[in-house]
Amino acid sequence: MEQTVRDWVSRDAFGYGYLLDFYQRGAQVCWMDKAGLALWDERYRITYTGGRVPADLPALNGPGLVLTDSGELKEHLAAAHPDWAVMDFSQAYYLRKEPPRVPARPGVSIRPLTLEDMDFVLENYHNPGAYESHIRQRIAEGMLGGLVDGELAGFAGIHQEGAMGMLEVLPQFRRRGLAEVLEAAIIARQLERGRFPYCHVRRGNTASEALQRKLGLTFDENRTLYWLG
């Protein structure tokens, strides 16, 4: 089945590389034909779609999250589930074989996070995913902490679906280059693991857009992604 997914993705390996990565992380195919592909990860109740897929798929209408590049599907699901949140994102990919080289920052260092850092992450992660079981999983996968002069000042990691993110830097430690150092290290780790380094940037988040471009990520200018749920 993986080769079949690879073949589907190969029609636009740049634009749809995140689908293959999601499948390789454990998602299952719940729909595929020439026009569309839908993948479902039961562990996290997340569905990824590419192209045109039937709007009545159970995986698209359950209690989980949906990511799609179809504006038509987005409109249908938003109308069918008026209580769902709908957010527009751009997607960016790191396409180089070598990780970004960032300048040394005085006093800035990184280290892997451990469960002893749980409270710090829960207190400072400004995202609906800031609950203990989720963060425990993310730390296990390899979250990194950023230190300034030896003090834990921020962190970054991999979302459960495989996108890079979870990036937070405490306000008093900003403008020290910590975000750049953290994401560069996450990219390096993804490359070492043979993963596809990509991220989703909410439309209008100009600071994140600038960071991705600075690190050498390429934006897909022809596709908008929609998170619903």
- What would the pLDDT profile of 127-150 be if each residue is shown by its tens digit? 877 889 999 999 999 999 999 999
- What would the pLDDT profile of 191-227 be if each residue is shown by its tens digit? 999 999 999 999 999 999 999 999 999 999 989 999 9
Closest CA to 27 of 53, 45, 9: 45
How far CA 108 is from CA of 66, 114, 182, in Å, comes to 37, 19, 10
* Token representation of residue 215: 């690190």
Backbone phi, then psi, for 153, in 5-degree steps? -125, -5
Residue with tokens 């022809």: 222
Could you tell me the pLDDT band of residue 185, with boundaries at 50, 70 and 90? very high
C-alpha–C-alpha distance, residues 155 and 74, integer Å: 32
* Token representation of residue 175: 């403008």
Q: State the first-to-last Cα distance of the chain, in angstroms, to the nearest integer.
A: 28
For residues 148 and 178, is the Cβ–Cβ distance under 8 A? yes
> Quick check: pTM over 0.75?
yes
